[in-house]
Amino acid sequence: MAKLAFLGLGVMGYPMAGHLKAAGHEVCVYNRTASKAAAWADEHGGTHASTPREAAIGADIVLSCVGNDDDLRSVCLSEDGAFAGMGKDALFVDHTTVSAKVTTELYTAAKAAGLGFVDAPISGGQAGAENGVLSVMCGGDAKDFARAEPIIDAYARICRRIGESGAGQMTKMCNQIAIAGLVQGLSEALHFAEKAGLDGRAVVEVISQGAAGSWQMVNRHETMIEDAFEHGFAVDWMRKDLGICLDTADETGASLPVTALVDQFYKDVQQMGGGRWDTSSLIKRLGEKG
């Protein structure tokens, strides 16, 4: 079993760190709100630290799941950051969805310090984290991935190395691009069904078994019909992710017209007060318009 540190105990990180402890690893956690780290340690029997540096001391692998580029830079590179506490040849695994730019920056800094670095963004939402069935897409050196994979398996349904450093983040962008179009399409289908006087549940029961079926349809149609969105992946976070996608598309020359349009639809949802609603709340915008 490994000695681990886990940085960031949000709706994803809290259960992920719990799976690591349940798998028999020694786990020390850090969270910006210290009371949450203390609560995790009380619940799971691990330890907690007051800084990322303190959590990282003596760890074989340090894992993170924080908010954005600046948060990740802080937990890695600040005076009290993890890199300052990690020993030579220790490995940093980042599960945050961030830009490929910051991933390259941190990979380079890690290598200069004699550390390994794997970008390993995740998909599957809060339920996937709680049930230990996340999809994990990784970038980095093959030898570093080989060390990370058996640890990540504690909360993954699939964990795959896609390529060199940054490839994991690029793959997560593909994931968010696909989700944006799917959720908008599902929203329009359910909105259309309602306007046509159809039973939305019956419609989904039939079409989910054919070519229209998707995870979003199976897992989100009921709450969309019920107008219940106080769960899941927040619109604010989706807009952060789509912003990364669109910025990267500008840099690479990719064309993302549907993604750009849906991003503006999510902006409408934010202006409706839905920044913390689940991403499936796109359907509420159609109600407002319709």
DSSP 8-state symbol, 86: P
Residues 166, 140: contact at Cβ < 8 Å?
no
User: What six digits make up the tokens of 131?
Assistant: 């049930």
Specify the DSSP element, H or E, that contains 4.
strand 3-7
Strand partners, 163: 139
Residues 119, 166: contact at Cβ < 8 Å?
yes
Strand partners, 135: 123, 158
**Cα angle 200-201-205, degrees, rounded to a multiple of 5:** 120
| Among 77, 96, 144, 94, residue whose Cα is nearest residue 116 | 144
Q: Of 111, 172, 240, 267, which is the active-site residue?
A: 172
DSSP 8-state symbol, 64: E
What's the CA gap between 207 and 280, in Å, rounded? 18
Quick check: is 172 catalytic?
yes
**Residues 6 or more apart in contact with residue 70 via CB below 8 angstroms:** none
Residues 75, 82: contact at Cβ < 8 Å?
yes
Catalytic residues: 172
